[in-house]
Structure 1
Amino acid sequence: MKVACVGGGPAGLYLSILLKRQDPAHDVTVYERDPEGSTYGWGVTYWRGLLDRLQEHDPESARAVEEHSVRWRDGVAHVGDLATRHHGDEGFGIGRHRLLAILAARARDLGVRLEFEHPVTGANPPAADLVVAADGAGSALRGHHAEHFGTEITGGRNRYVWLGTPKVFDAFTFAFVETGHGWIWVYGYGYGPEGSTCVVECAPETWTGLGLDRADEAEGLVLLEKLFADVLDGHPLTARSSGRAGTAWPVFRTLTNRTWSRGNLVLLGDAAHTTHYSIGAGTTLALEDAMALATALHGPGGRADALARYERERRAALLPVQSAARLSAQWYENLPRYIHLPPQQMFALLGQRHSPLLPHLPPRLYYRIDRAAGRLETLRRLKRRLGPVIARTVQARRLATGGGPVPPGRPDAVPAHRG
């Protein structure tokens, strides 16, 4: 099979790796419009589950990704002068440049052709058995057939900007700062010894009130450095221009498509779907798309059947993620509802922002219910764990004293099979 992957991001590169691993005879080319080594952003974040799946599909690239990643278990929230730290699941960060270099090197080793500085438009798609549109949310290939794909784009409310800093955070860090024009906040996470990613977000009235809509890049960075001086420990913020036209502080655009394929053309990653950056799932979903498409193409039936299987599987997997992303974005858009809670409560509800119930209950009431449910679940787990042990101890003591086994249904019998 001859395959053309248009777009040299994580999705296109990883798909090319998986296809060549499945069958070295596949003729696979990746076309990327930008020069090699140029990319936007600083670092990407992911979780242990993705690393396990990478290990299953290609152990060699998985080892390289893990080796060059940093990890954390804590989350820290700064709200004004107050701060709280929580221990959580293991998270990872890796520089986007580093991730792309790892995937590009692995693809080359397997015989994939990489064509950099080779733009592809919808009017001149490569001749191939399968053309994969992995060219991002602004996909030219998808846009050329927009009516067929049924693309829908919904804009969020808040403004955001993607920045970097040489400050290396030791935890996933949130900092909320109150200004005379409302709250502004930053998400920060390390991706290597060279620095961290910082995403700054605020409501539109805060953005205009602070003059960020009128400030040039240098003026905006100076203002943000002052606002977040405490969490940055005096380190600067840096911007990396993509060299493309666009708003420096855009609103996030959630993109969906009615269908993901047209003949021999199939959408992958952000070309097919986007999810709000606040859940940190974009790169994970792109790589999982590549896994699903490669698996479907290797399965029974022809190309049409494979593309249909791929789309069904990924749509089903995306439903809970898209719901979580939508609720997460709404939580930040309604930040004043939560920000004046005590830091422990605010941070707990920050972690619960994916709950569909949270927007409909008073925050303090939700917090109390969530705490009570957590304690109840802890008791249930303890009972499940200790029930069989207690039952065996009671039986052993009765037998040791000649009392015989505990008859079923007796008050002192502990049924080991119940939760």
Structure 2
Amino acid sequence: MREGRLRRRRARGLYLSVLLKRQDPSTEITVYERNPEGSTYGWGVTYWRGLLDKLHAHDPESARAVEEHSVRWHDGVAHVRELTTRHHGDEGFGIGRHRLLRILTERARALGVRIEFAHEMEVGALPADADLVVAGDGLHSALRTDAADHFGTEVRAGRNHYTWLGTTKVFDAFHFAFVETEHGWVWCYAYGYGAEGSTCVVECAPETWSGLGLDRADEADGLALLEGLFADLLDGHRLIGRSATDGRPQWLTFRTLTNQRWYRDNVVLLGDAAHTTHYSIGAGTTLALEDAIALADALRAHPDLPGALAAYEQERKSALLPVQSAARYSAQWYENLPRYLALPPHRMFALLGQRHSPLLPHIPPQLYYGLDKAVGRLTALRRLKRWLGPKVARAAHTRAVAPR
């Protein structure tokens, strides 16, 4: 069996090739990558313990390397104007994108996968002898675009503008910083990915973007402006933009992509070619790798290719429904950010954690916060009663039967 795959961000394709080689070492796999080896866009990616557990279950060797080269945090920190609040939460991880790709490339090669870098695969030049072609070439997938009507592709543009930056400052927690300007609010998400630095995603409303002149500024002037706005967060460290040689704009609006169908004949979509979820929930890498796991499992479980691809599509579309809903409400929360920033920082941060709720946009923030606290206390009381219940019952029974 021979499989060609097209990708833009290649982690998911490399990981799929690793899984398929582990399932059947005789499988012939070629990975086609349009970029030169060692090049990628972005600084770090985030993931959570649940993904790491899945990686250990499916390929312990690459999972150990990923975990070894990741940084981790348990706290979230919110900066609102001059005030700061810190919350303890679940364990999160960050790893450099270059490091992750290097780990998966080396692992795939060790298993016998053929990797062709700097190879732009045209739609009309697909390998004729391929049993399966996996299109993991991102939001602008050439294979998917060529048959957009069949796949039922829909793309919805978000309202806010954002830019993906790096910084030399290494953060020990996941930071949110909200800065008020005369043209509105600007905010960033910042997290470490290694000893060399952190990722900073900066976002703002379109009127703020244009009011600050970011729509007209070149990269150097734009970075200088943002460094001034986030000076307290950066502690004198600089922001780093990506090279402008790729011709892509510095600022983007997020595109939410969905597809009614994920495969056609022997072509199947993977990762961002099949779906995107807003970056504010930090699930992009996790979902792409989970796609690879589900596709490999389906190919192993079903002897016929149509049955395997149908099972893969059904499983992943079902799994994505709650994630896509959460991402949609999260994006809307940030698009309506001024609604929440009048609260004290610790209350705003609490509602930041509740931004996936479909009820939050329809209830006054202060009231929602009070209701959420009351529900939390009630839930804790119920848990305490469940925990004490058997013990109290046993104690009462002991007293009833004890000899006098």
Scaled by the length of structure 2, the TM-score of the pair is: 0.98
* SS of alignment partner, residue 133 of structure 1: strand
* SS of alignment partner, residue 239 of structure 2: coil
How many residues align structurally? Answer: 402
Counterpart CA distance in 1 for 2:256 and 2:292 is 20
Counterpart CA distance in 1 for 2:403 and 2:169 is 67
Tell me the equivalent position of 1:82: 83
Tell me the equivalent position of 1:409: none
Provide the aligned C-alpha RMSD in A: 1.0
Tell me the equivalent position of 1:250: 252
Deviation, 1:241, is: 2.5
Counterpart CA distance in 2 for 1:260 and 1:241 is 33
- The answer to whether the Cα contact below 8 Å between 1:123 and 1:144 also exists between their aligned partners in 2 is no
2:17 counterpart of 1:3: no
Tell me the equivalent position of 1:416: none
One-letter amino acid matched to 2:282: G
Counterpart CA distance in 2 for 1:106 and 1:149 is 32
Counterpart CA distance in 2 for 1:123 and 1:215 is 40
Gaps of 5+ in 1: 403-419
* SS of alignment partner, residue 37 of structure 1: coil
* SS of alignment partner, residue 215 of structure 2: coil
Deviation, 1:9, is: 1.2
The aligned runs of 1:13-162 (5 Å cut-off) are 13-127=14-128, 128-162=130-164
Candidates 319, 322, 327, aligned match of 1:320: 322
Could you list the per-position Cα deviations for residues 103-127 of structure 1 after superposition, in whole angstroms to 9, with x for gaps in the alignment? 0110001100010011112222223
Going from structure 1 to structure 2, the CA distance change for 1:66 and 1:116 (only over 3 Å counts) comes to: same
Tell me the equivalent position of 1:340: 342
Q: Which moved more, 1:14-23 or 1:143-152?
A: 143-152
Identity %: 71
The aligned runs of 1:16-415 (5 Å cut-off) are 16-127=17-128, 128-241=130-243, 243-402=245-404
Deviation, 1:399, is: 2.8
* SS of alignment partner, residue 301 of structure 2: coil
Counterpart CA distance in 2 for 1:171 and 1:220 is 26
- The answer to whether the Cα contact below 8 Å between 1:164 and 1:239 also exists between their aligned partners in 2 is yes
Counterpart CA distance in 1 for 2:199 and 2:314 is 34
Counterpart CA distance in 2 for 1:293 and 1:156 is 29
Could you list the per-position Cα deviations for residues 177-216 of structure 1 after superposition, in whole angstroms to 9, with x for gaps in the alignment? 0000000001000001111000000000000000000000
Deviation, 1:389, is: 1.4
Counterpart CA distance in 2 for 1:126 and 1:367 is 57
Tell me the equivalent position of 1:405: none
Could you list the per-position Cα deviations for residues 30-55 of structure 1 after superposition, in whole angstroms to 9, with x for gaps in the alignment? 00010111000000000000000111
Deviation, 1:100, is: 0.4
Counterpart CA distance in 1 for 2:244 and 2:384 is 53
Q: Which moved more, 1:126-135 or 1:172-181?
A: 126-135
Tell me the equivalent position of 1:410: none
Deviation, 1:400, is: 2.9
Counterpart CA distance in 2 for 1:14 and 1:213 is 38
Counterpart CA distance in 2 for 1:239 and 1:246 is 12
One-letter amino acid matched to 1:18: L
Deviation, 1:395, is: 2.0
Counterpart CA distance in 2 for 1:229 and 1:78 is 12
Deviation, 1:401, is: 4.4
- The answer to whether the Cα contact below 8 Å between 1:5 and 1:16 also exists between their aligned partners in 2 is no
One-letter amino acid matched to 2:231: A
Going from structure 1 to structure 2, the CA distance change for 1:255 and 1:291 (only over 3 Å counts) comes to: same
Counterpart CA distance in 1 for 2:403 and 2:359 is 54
Scaled by the length of structure 1, the TM-score of the pair is: 0.94
One-letter amino acid matched to 2:52: L
Deviation, 1:242, is: 6.4
- The answer to whether the Cα contact below 8 Å between 1:125 and 1:141 also exists between their aligned partners in 2 is no
Counterpart CA distance in 1 for 2:104 and 2:24 is 18
Deviation, 1:248, is: 1.4
Counterpart CA distance in 2 for 1:240 and 1:24 is 38
One-letter amino acid matched to 1:77: A
Counterpart CA distance in 1 for 2:102 and 2:141 is 22
Could you list the per-position Cα deviations for residues 233-254 of structure 1 after superposition, in whole angstroms to 9, with x for gaps in the alignment? 1100001126333321110000
Gaps of 5+ in 2: none
- The answer to whether the Cα contact below 8 Å between 1:79 and 1:175 also exists between their aligned partners in 2 is yes
One-letter amino acid matched to 2:387: R
Counterpart CA distance in 2 for 1:300 and 1:273 is 24
Going from structure 1 to structure 2, the CA distance change for 1:224 and 1:89 (only over 3 Å counts) comes to: same
* SS of alignment partner, residue 123 of structure 1: helix
Counterpart CA distance in 2 for 1:41 and 1:365 is 39
User: Which structure has the larger Rg?
Assistant: 1
Going from structure 1 to structure 2, the CA distance change for 1:106 and 1:216 (only over 3 Å counts) comes to: same
Moved over 6 A (4+): none
Counterpart CA distance in 1 for 2:348 and 2:403 is 55
